[in-house]
Amino acid sequence: MKIDTTIMGSMLDDGSRARVAEELGFDGVWVAETGHDPMLAMGAAASRTSRVSLGTNILVAFARSPMTVAMTANDLHLMSEGRFILGLGSQIKPHIVRRFNMPWSAPAARMKEYVGALRAIWRSWHDGEPLKYEGEFYQFTLMTPMFSPGANRWGPPPIYLAGVGERMVAASAEVADGLLIHPFTTERYLKDVIVPALTAVRPDLDGFVISGMPIVVTGRDEAALAAAADAARMQIAFYASTPAYKPILDVHGWGELYDEMHDLSLKGEWAAMGKRVDDEVLRTIAIVAEPDHIAAELEKRFGGVMSRCALSTREGVDPAVWEPVLRAVSR
């Protein structure tokens, strides 16, 4: 299992945090799309690193045209000398419609077309194949030499799709190179729902990457661990209030937690929500351990299923936290 890190918050620096992660021994660095554009962060990271994989987890696909994503991803793959991974996610309907003012329908089917369009655009640049992609949701039929970057000597970047529901998970198995597992995913949901959905479409998962990003509660001392636990409870409460993630709670018989969290979120009582996440829920969803024991817990929960795992905490890329983890994994 490759061990990556997710750099949270603003990455609009000179890529120094990615460089620190590389020096510590992480295999990859991921950046999410929250308050900043992760593609810009990847450019900064590419300029300061030479070994680690660099990926978006996730870039909101439906907020952008496949043509613009194809070009930026192609440039980042070239700039990083073949180290870029394009991680795409659908987001949920309210964000796509109300925040981005973009269309929403049939997300799994739309995502499959999105990936098909990306690959058709890249083929037109790399192989000189006429661009003719005509689907239900996306149509691309024009590419002239002036606007083609030409062949990328590193080829096209791999595409991973984020999926929680069975349809999107199945879509990843059908058209993508890997699956990005949501942080809210539990061991039971992974093994009882996600893996069967993948193998129903792709019985042989050899070469297909399953990449996780579990919530990790740890720290260099008890105070840091307690603060991390409080932050994790808030993160879990937020996810538990979202309809798209209710199936994960249902697998554990915790459907009533969704009802409670959803009601509190509608009232804007965010501060109260984290306090309702008890220890059982916290320890089932998050990995709660001192740094020396994280590697063993990762192997116990996800060994043999996940190809790579991205870790992040409130401590960032603190060597005191992560050096013991990376030493244990390498043994």
Joined together, the tokens standing for residue 275 give 């306090």
By percentage, how much of the chain surpasses pLDDT 90?
87
* One domain, residues 185 and 255: no
- Tell me the residue range of the domain where 295 lies: 2-220+287-330
66 and 117 inside one domain = yes
Same domain for 174 and 258, yes or no, is no
For helices 107-126 and 166-175, angle between their N-to-C axes, nearest 10 degrees? 20
Does 97 share its domain with 228? no
* Pairing verdict, β 2-6 and 308-311: parallel
269, 191: one domain: no
Over range 302-313, report the average pLDDT: 90
145 with 233, same domain: the answer is no
Peptide bond into 58 cis (omega under 30): yes
38-67 residue pLDDT tens: 999 999 999 999 999 999 999 999 999 999
CATH of the domain at 110: 3.20.20.30
- 80 and 161 together in one domain: yes
DSSP state, residue 221: S
Same domain membership, residue 104 and residue 197: yes
The span from the CA of 174 to the CA of 178, in Å, is 10
- The model's pLDDT over 233-269, given as tens digits with 9 standing for 90+, comes to 999 999 999 999 999 999 999 999 999 999 999 999 9
Are 178 and 255 in a shared domain? no
The mean-pLDDT minimum among 75-89, 112-126, 224-238 falls in 224-238
Q: Residue 9: pLDDT above 80? A: no
Residues 71 and 93 both lie in one domain: yes
Contacts of 82 (CB under 8 A, 6+ apart): 154, 155
- 129 and 168: one domain? yes
Closest C-alpha among 302, 281, 293 to residue 328: 293
Total domain count, the chain = 2
Identify whether residues 316 and 234 lie together within a single domain. Answer: no
CA-based nearest residue to 175, from 75, 84, 61, 92: 61
pTM over 0.85: yes
